Amino acid sequence: MTASGPTLITSVQRALHLLDAVGRRDRPVSAKVLARETELALPTTYHLLRTLVHEGYLERIDGCYVLGQQVGGLIRGVDQSTLRARTTLAALSDELSGATYLAVYRGGEIELVDIVDSPAHPRVDLWVGLHDAGHATALGKAILTVLPADLRDDYLSRHELADLTPHTVTDPRVLRRQLGRHTGLAVDTGEYQLGMTCVSAAIRTDDGVAAVAVSAPLARRGQLMDSADVLRRGANRIGLALAASSR
pLDDT tens string, the chain, 247 residues long: the values are: 444 556 668 888 899 999 888 887 767 889 999 999 899 999 999 999 999 999 888 888 878 888 887 776 665 555 556 667 888 898 899 999 999 999 999 889 999 988 888 888 898 988 888 889 999 999 999 999 999 999 999 999 999 999 999 999 999 999 999 888 777 799 999 999 999 999 999 998 877 899 999 999 999 999 999 999 999 999 999 998 887 655 5
Is there a single domain that holds both residue 141 and residue 173? yes
State residue 137's pLDDT score. 96
Q: Is residue 135 part of a domain?
A: yes
Bridge pairing between strands 64-67 and 29-30: antiparallel
CATH classification of the domain holding 167? 3.30.450.40
How far is C-alpha 13 from the geometric centre of its chain's CA atoms? 18
Helix 228-244 vs helix 80-96: crossing angle, to nearest 10: 170
Is there a single domain that holds both residue 235 and residue 186? yes
Q: From 49, 74, 99, give the residue that closes a domain.
A: 74
Q: Is residue 1 part of a domain?
A: no
CB 77 within 8 A of CB 223: no
Is there a single domain that holds both residue 96 and residue 152? yes
Q: Is residue 203 part of a domain?
A: yes
Is there a single domain that holds both residue 117 and residue 217? yes
Is there a single domain that holds both residue 236 and residue 135? yes
CATH classification of the domain holding 45? 1.10.10.10
State residue 23's pLDDT score. 82
State residue 72's pLDDT score. 62
Query: In the chain, how many domains are there?
Result: 2
Tell me the backbone φ, ψ of residue 192, rounded to 5 degrees: -100, -45
Helical (H) or strand (E) element with 171: none
Is there a single domain that holds both residue 28 and residue 103? no
Is there a single domain that holds both residue 161 and residue 45? no
Q: Is residue 5 part of a domain?
A: no
Instruction: Tell me how far apart the alpha carbons of residues 53 and 63 are, in angstroms, rounded to a whole number.
Output: 12
Is there a single domain that holds both residue 116 and residue 51? no
Is there a single domain that holds both residue 68 and residue 88? no
Instruction: Tell me how far apart the alpha carbons of residues 125 and 111 are, in angstroms, rounded to a whole number.
Output: 16
Is there a single domain that holds both residue 68 and residue 101? no
CA distances from 219 to 38, 160, 169, 194 (A): 23, 29, 21, 12
Is there a single domain that holds both residue 159 and residue 217? yes
Is there a single domain that holds both residue 106 and residue 14? no
Helical (H) or strand (E) element with 193: none
Contacts of residue 96, Cβ cutoff 8 Å, sequence gap at least 6: 214, 216, 224, 227, 230, 231
- Number of helical H runs and strand E runs in the chain: 10, 8
Contacts of residue 134, Cβ cutoff 8 Å, sequence gap at least 6: 110, 140, 141, 143, 144, 155, 159
Print the domain residue range for 131: 78-244
Q: From 29, 50, 74, give the residue that closes a domain.
A: 74
Q: Is residue 183 part of a domain?
A: yes
State residue 190's pLDDT score. 96
